[in-house]
Each structure stands twice: as structure tokens, then as C-alpha cells.
Amino acid sequence: MKDVRIGDWHRPWNNKGDRKTDGAPPSALWATEKGGFDQVGCVYTAQGFEYDWSGVILGPDLLFRDGKLVIDRTANKDPDLRKQMSDDEAAALIRNIYKVLLTRGMRGTIVYSTDEETQAFLTTLIYGTH
């Protein structure tokens, strides 16, 4: 299982399919069983669930540049985005993925970007300096 790594922090992706490995539940039970807490979920395993709190890592496919959020389709590793579709369709799909992930937390959602400029922009939204 490939890890999600940010600096010294890392967690495994949620299991795929119906297999249970190293105490981690199958993907269908990722959000409800104890062993899933230490894994990173994806849109396919998170949709349909609501959590008290959630965390979303914005990857290099969603960036803040020149005063707006932009999509970099080539930075997304989802196999569905390798299918034949226009850049506009891919951008809409990526935006929808983040919409699903960002709306799972009922009490709140922690958002982190792997991109320094995007993270700085997010910080301005919290502190009202943008």
C-alpha cells in the first residue's frame, strides 16, 4: 500500500476492495471500523458518510495561482482522469471530488494543501487577510 507522505507525517491509503490487511478494514468499512482511523480515505470511500470532523489534503491538482484556484489535471493520479475526456470535464470532476471531500465534516473540516502558495492562501481565509 502506497503511503500518503507530507514531511515526516505518513499514513497508508485505505484498503482496496474486500481485503483486510494489517488490522485495517476492507474499503467498505474504512470509515466505520476502528482500524480505519489511521488510514487516508479517498472520495470513493468517503462519499455517503458524514463525520463529526474531517480532514482534507489538497494535492498538487488544486492550486492557488494568480488570485484564483486552478486545476492541474496532470498532477492527479486518479485512473478515471486518464480516460478520454476534455480538460474542462477533468477540471469539473476534480472540483466535484474536492466538493465531496470538503462537505463530509458536520462540525468542521481541517484543510491542508501540499502546495505552499495554496496553503498560504487558505490561511488568509481563516485570518481574513486576503
Give pLDDT tens digits for 65-83: 999 999 999 998 888 777 7
Q: Which domain holds residue 29?
A: 1-41
Residues 57 and 32 in one domain: no
Question: Does one domain contain both 62 and 119?
Answer: yes
Using alpha carbons, list the distances in angstroms from residue 22 to 19, 34, 38, 91: 10, 12, 11, 35
Q: What is the pTM of this model?
A: 0.84
Residue listed under C-alpha cell 466538493: 99
- pLDDT, tens only, 14-30: 777 777 777 778 777 77
- Whether 130 shows a pLDDT value over 60: the answer reads no
Q: Structurally, how many domains does the chain consist of?
A: 2
Q: Are residues 58 and 33 in the same domain?
A: no
As a whole number, mean pLDDT of residues 4-10 equals: 89
Is residue 61 within 8 A of residue 72, CB to CB? The reply is yes
β-sheet bridge partners, residue 11: 4
Q: What is the dihedral of CA 13, 95, 47, 108, to 10 degrees?
A: 90
pLDDT of residue 69: 95
Asked if residue 9 belongs to a domain, the reply is yes
The CB-based long-range contact list for 63-68 (8 Å cut-off, 24+ gap) reads 63/115, 63/117, 63/118, 64/113, 64/115, 64/117, 64/118, 64/120, 64/121, 64/122, 65/117
Say whether both 33 and 62 belong to one domain: no
Reported as a single tens digit per residue, the pLDDT across 26-62 is: 777 777 777 777 788 888 888 888 889 999 999 999 9
Same domain membership, residue 69 and residue 36: no
Do 3 and 65 reside in the same domain of the chain? Answer: no
Query: Span 121-125, mean pLDDT?
Result: 93
pLDDT of residue 91: 93
